[in-house]
Amino acid sequence: MRLAFFGTPEFAVPSLRALLEEGFDVAAVVTQPDRPQGRSRSQLVAPPVKRVALEEGLPVLQPERPIGPFLAELKAFDFDLGVVVAYGHVLKPELLAIPRHGMLNVHASLLPRLRGAAPIVWSILNGDETTGVSIMQLEAGLDTGPVLHQIETEVAADETAGELTERLAELGAAALVEVLMLIEAGEARAVPQDHGRATYAPKVSRPQARLDWARDAATLARTVRAFDPEPGAWALFGDQEIKCFGGRASNAGGEPGTVLAAGDTLVVAAGVGSLSLSEVQPAGKRRMPVAEWVRGRGPRTGERFT
């Protein structure tokens, strides 16, 4: 069975590596174009999936959008099944129809819960105690296709989105290999989703990462974890933007946004309780321990965040 692999970020790398390690025939890798990075935006950086593909000598296609003339180029690889892992584009029906046996998607939630672009962030924002990965058949709807396999896992109380992403990437790779082996053995069974139970995880924006000190401490702590490492939950201290990391809810109280303690940790009053932070990143600087910031030009007890 010949495969075409569609993926872009680091999350997709374990799945591609697992396919190659298990001896699956990957005919081509489709990823997004190289993008400029750095302050000058002058250096093009390849997606993580492309770097792995080139190491393994695989053909790489990088359309700006997977439509038009690209479809004819893709058809030439004559593959049986497509595998999609965080590719970053919604695939049109004409592309989904190319492989003889359709296309599978590795989705980082237990469908039909958290359909959409940011299931990992929303699982933490929502305070979910469990999440997982689903292997589903792609169709025209948004993550609506039947599910072939799921693996469930607990969300640790202090787990960040970055940490959970790494774990789910590995679980997704394992689940994908299991499903492909079942398909080859003729034993795979796809189960339709219960659309009435669907919830959604839309793409998040930077304004959503701003800390609202009127909210309770538990909500603020989840926000810090959900946006760690990117884009970073943030607040204003004076006119300076400060990204906040290592958030935990604590019981101390005060006027929301007021600094209650500034030492090895930074304790800021919330609407209910307070938020304790262990790391910060002032604008234009690197991420650092709170104590280092406090020793420099950081806050003092009684000052305020907004």
Residue range 106-134: average pLDDT?
A: 98
| Per-residue pLDDT at 6 | 98
Q: 297: pLDDT confidence band, cut at 50, 70 and 90?
A: confident
What digits encode the pLDDT tens for the residues 223-252?
999 999 999 999 999 999 999 999 999 999
**Domains delineated in the chain:** 2-197 (3.40.50.170), 209-295 (3.10.25.10)
Give dist(CA 192, CA 195) in Å, integer.
9
The SS3 assignment for 78 reads coil
Q: What is the pTM of this model?
A: 0.95
What digits encode the pLDDT tens for the residues 250-279?
999 999 999 999 999 999 999 999 999 999
Give dist(CA 179, CA 146) in Å, integer.
13
Give dist(CA 243, CA 298) in Å, integer.
13
Q: Which phi-psi region, left, alpha or beta, contains residue 25 (left: φ > 0; alpha: ψ -120 to 50)?
A: beta
Residue 286 predicted with pLDDT over 90? yes
Give dist(CA 246, CA 232) in Å, integer.
11
